[in-house]
Structure 1
Amino acid sequence: MAESNVKTNNRWVLFLASIASFMVALDTLVVSTSLSRIRLDLGASIEGLEWTVNAYSLCFAVFLLTAAALGDRFGRRRLFAAGIGVFTVASAACALSESLGWLIAFRAVQGIGAALIMPLSVALLSAAFPPERRAKVLGVFSGVTGLAVLAGPVVGGAVAEGLAWQWIFWLNVPIGLLIILPVWSRIGESFGTNTALDIRGLLLATGGALGLVWGLIRSNSAGWNSLEVLSTLAVGILLTILFVNWELGTREPMLPMRLFRSRAFLIGNAANFLLNTSLVSALFFLAQYLQIALGYGPLDAGLRMLPWTATLFFVAPVAGNLVNRIGERPLIVFGLLLQSLGMMWIGLIADPGTAYVKFIAPLIVAGFGVSMVQPTSMSAVVGSVAPSEVGKASGAFNMLRQLGGVFGIAIIATVFTANGNYSSAQSFNAGFAPAISISSALSMAGALVAIGLPRRRKVPINHEREKA
């Protein structure tokens, strides 16, 4: 009977962690195809649209490690459930927002809830499954998340076009309400090392990230040589240096710098960061490109992104299974090269007169690449640390993933505004083509970095544990 309970609990952990991740990923993707409607309805500038996305991603990123530490100390299940509650309430508040300022504020609260959900979902999975099954489980987890990637742009487009953009946030409420009670009743509690909270580290990390992101975003309107941009970038760099110095010296760091001595941890996170600078920035502009330059509505734009997004649902589980056979390095390197090739291809053919059918092949190529890298980079990072530090490793992985998206949007938005604007389809295309080419270059840089990943050691399968 005990063995049956273990199996049931493990299945519930995988199911509930995947659904919670699905909810967070769905929210990110439904927003992408709704940006044009939000811009028109609330009179948002490109800077306002950036903050609509980046307020969420920034809070998501900087609270991830604190969330992981809270989960390790007070219980991963408890904080995981709290994150679902915060995310659900904040989603309702976003739907009720009547101005861009309030929408951005509640998107930030959503990011805090997401910060509790994502690293703790991976930590709960890692605690529930043995190492020899972990890569496969993470592949399934990524595949379910991929379903949100598949459905997100279509659902967001359908809702924005058929109802109103506010309903993209109402979608999260029933999902959150349905899963929060089973989390308490079906998942056992687990803990990590009982460490003190690193408040100074949190403040330094938050201030450093905010200074860098603020400077990058404001450079579009204030100018690179303005006092505001130069001072905020300088403060961001200084606080980031102070954060690293503090983490090296404190007894209870939120991000132990010794983890970066592992080549797999360091390079896996670097590849993950560069993938997401490319992926999220491309997503930010591609959905708008389909609507503004090619003239499609939100629903049609979402449907036409399926060749790119649908691949994650099918390829990620396969990539997870392949890890134990060939290791992470070839999958990550080849995947980043495919993403780079797809984005470069789109940049070369982008024109308001280009038929959509010509975009299908590069979208599929890029989609295969992303789908190979996401589960394998996570496996490389999580597999490089001791079980007691999985929570912190997961927090670092997700923090750098979110910061990658923030920096990616800020960087290619700067390229976009230097070359184009929203005034016409041709003007938008003039900015989009060079911007998406930068997205390609970022992914190529990730592929070059990933070549340095060490070969993966095969994990011996414990058949008795497998039976349990």
Structure 2
Amino acid sequence: MVDVRNESAAPASVTADERDPWPALFALCLGFFMILVDTTIVSVATPALIEDLQADVNAVVWVTSAYLLAYAVPVLITGRLGDRFGPKRLYLAGLVVFTLASLACGLTSTVEGLIVARIVQGLGASMITPQTMAIITRIFPAQRRGKAMALWGATAGVATLVGPILGGVLVDVAGWEWIFFINVPVGLVAFVMAMRLVPTLATNQHRFDWLGVALSGVGMFLLVFGIQEGEQLDWNGVVWSLIVAGLVVFALFVVWQARNRAEPLVPLRLFRDRNFSLANVTITTMGFSITAVAIPLMLYAQLVRGLSPTRAALLLVPMALMSILLARTVGGLTDRVHPRVLLLIGFGSLVVSMVWLVQEIRPDSQVWEILLPMTLFGIGNAFVWAPNSATATRNLPGHLAGAGAGVYNATRQLGAVLGSAGIAVLIDARLLANGLDPAASGGEGGGALPPQVQQAFSDAMGQAIYLPAAIFVIGLVAAFFFERPRHAGFAGAAPARAAEAH
């Protein structure tokens, strides 16, 4: 029996019908945007960090790896903690942890201190992310959730692209410390907005699954760490041992979740809903491919075209703009149109844009020739994020919103880690196949490669982009199997059957 209680003894819990939920959504998106920007903002500061902190490349790579690892591993647990202690409370606590850790990042004078602070930052991010999605699920009725998820999805899509651009500007103008210091005022504003605008929601007195917590944490750590560091360690026996051990522990976790008759950390009945299961497949392909495509594109822009990091990141602007411009339109469609239709448009556009982009990765291509497929990429992005996110959570009852959001965000993060590792391996393989030494494929003095190797390097980067294209095909196939929504207000739908997930 679930014991429903209020997050605090003060006002009674708030339902979606008692107040306008949109101000709360804007407050949540600000914090969500901040933490996602930090997944990519550090990449352009790598040279400055190496110089100022007197660190080697591998140590600076850990500045990003530590954040991603600490972000991905606990997200299943923090989603469930939101159900137990209240999503608003966990969200605010996460903001405090993230903001203070950002201040520590900017004040540190050693790479070791920076890595530790980034781990704490990642923990704060893992507390924030599932709460944003869980709160949206609970304060917006199913028939209005599409527009809300459109804004949430646009925030996620744009934030990962803004990171490199914002990072480049801040490093050039103020120094690398400011890519962290900027989070302090943003975090304070986000905290005040959330305190004032996000409603206090009912909590559920769960029996916490401590064995599930341990198994999921260990399994996620071993798997993510092994994949993330595989390229750095040349995919040696230790790496494969970690990955296999992670899979074994995950298998034990799933067995325990199935056998736990009390309250498992991840109720497997969530996956009885076909759309929830398929949405996790498709968001994994999105996390994988968006992460994967940025790496060869940025290498091509900087090492073949000779663009600065900031100018190279501007190639991503059309994608961000289309995601923003289409968010409202796609959000409205999400509440009325079968998700299969929208996702087929989205993934179809993504596949075509990737194949098109490969053709334009040439030493002599014009900038506008790169921007056109990136514009189509943005259209596809807009048609996936909102419908997929809204469909994933549409049938979930309130007391499982945190668990569902935790699973959804964990699979997205795992996809991103897989994409980063997979594209790194493929880039090295394609460089070798095109007669180049991966270790020596760097520009002279930070500029472009010598003209005689630019064609081979461009070919390698273009060939690597076929990987995210192929993964998008998996999303396209999965989109065919989405069910017609059952929420009230959808044309021809029967009354919502949220009880199926109980």
Q: TM-score, normalised by structure 1?
A: 0.89
The residue aligned with 1:293 is: 304
For the pair 1:423 / 2:435, whether they are aligned, the reply is: no
Alignment of structure 1 residues 91-110 onto 2, 5 Å = 91-110=102-121
The residue aligned with 1:201 is: 212
The residue aligned with 2:402 is: 391
* Structure 1: distance between partners of 2:419 and 2:155: 25
User: Aligned-pair distance for 1:321?
Assistant: 0.9
Q: 1:102 to 1:329 in 2, by over 3 A?
A: farther
Contact 2:145–2:335, Cα closer than 8 Å, also in 1: no
Which of 224, 237, 241 pairs up with 2:251?
241
Which of 442, 445, 452 pairs up with 2:474?
445
Q: 1:233 to 1:460 in 2, by over 3 A?
A: same
User: Aligned-pair distance for 1:119?
Assistant: 1.4
Q: Which runs of 5+ in 2 are unaligned?
A: 1-11, 432-437, 444-448, 491-502
* Structure 1: distance between partners of 2:158 and 2:225: 32
User: Aligned-pair distance for 1:149?
Assistant: 5.0
The residue aligned with 2:488 is: 459
User: Aligned-pair distance for 1:431?
Assistant: 4.5
User: Aligned-pair distance for 1:288?
Assistant: 4.0
Higher helix share: 1
Q: 1:87 to 1:241 in 2, by over 3 A?
A: same
- Report which stretch shifted further, 5-14 or 229-238: 5-14
User: Aligned-pair distance for 1:337?
Assistant: 2.4
Contact 1:27–1:152, Cα closer than 8 Å, also in 2: yes
The residue aligned with 2:7 is: none
The residue aligned with 1:273 is: 284
Larger Rg: 2
- Report which stretch shifted further, 276-285 or 418-427: 418-427
The residue aligned with 1:87 is: 98
Alignment of structure 1 residues 406-421 onto 2, 5 Å = 406-420=417-431, 421=438
Q: Which amino acid aligns with 1:375?
A: A
Alignment of structure 1 residues 318-397 onto 2, 5 Å = 318-397=329-408
Which of 117, 135, 138 pairs up with 2:149?
138
Q: 1:438 to 1:50 in 2, by over 3 A?
A: farther
* Structure 2: distance between partners of 1:71 and 1:111: 17
- Report which stretch shifted further, 409-418 or 276-285: 276-285
Question: Residue 201 of structure 2: SS of its match in structure 1?
Answer: coil
- Report which stretch shifted further, 267-276 or 9-18: 9-18
Q: 1:41 to 1:365 in 2, by over 3 A?
A: farther
User: Aligned-pair distance for 1:181?
Assistant: 2.9
Residues 275-309 of structure 1 deviation map (CA, whole Å, 9 limit, x = unaligned) = 11001222344334322332111221232220122
The residue aligned with 2:42 is: 31
Q: 1:438 to 1:361 in 2, by over 3 A?
A: same
User: Aligned-pair distance for 1:120?
Assistant: 0.9
For the pair 1:214 / 2:225, whether they are aligned, the reply is: yes
The residue aligned with 2:242 is: 232
* Structure 2: distance between partners of 1:43 and 1:296: 25
The residue aligned with 2:127 is: 116
Contact 2:274–2:482, Cα closer than 8 Å, also in 1: yes
Residues 180-202 of structure 1 deviation map (CA, whole Å, 9 limit, x = unaligned) = 13423433311343213333223
* Structure 1: distance between partners of 2:349 and 2:46: 27
Q: Which amino acid aligns with 1:456?
A: P
User: Aligned-pair distance for 1:98?
Assistant: 3.7
Residues 67-100 of structure 1 deviation map (CA, whole Å, 9 limit, x = unaligned) = 1221211122111100111111121222234444
- Report which stretch shifted further, 43-52 or 402-411: 43-52
* Structure 2: distance between partners of 1:46 and 1:362: 32
Q: Which amino acid aligns with 2:403?
A: K
Question: Residue 351 of structure 1: SS of its match in structure 2?
Answer: coil
* Structure 2: distance between partners of 1:39 and 1:334: 43
* Structure 2: distance between partners of 1:277 and 1:193: 33
Q: Which amino acid aligns with 1:163?
A: A
The residue aligned with 2:174 is: 163
Q: Which runs of 4+ in 1 moved over 6 A?
A: 43-46
Q: Which amino acid aligns with 2:100?
A: V
User: Aligned-pair distance for 1:355?
Assistant: 2.7
- Report which stretch shifted further, 276-285 or 370-379: 276-285
User: Aligned-pair distance for 1:391?
Assistant: 1.5
User: Aligned-pair distance for 1:430?
Assistant: 5.5
Question: Residue 307 of structure 2: SS of its match in structure 1?
Answer: coil
Question: Residue 254 of structure 1: SS of its match in structure 2?
Answer: coil
For the pair 1:313 / 2:342, whether they are aligned, the reply is: no
Q: 1:213 to 1:48 in 2, by over 3 A?
A: farther
* Structure 1: distance between partners of 2:342 and 2:123: 31
Contact 1:58–1:403, Cα closer than 8 Å, also in 2: no
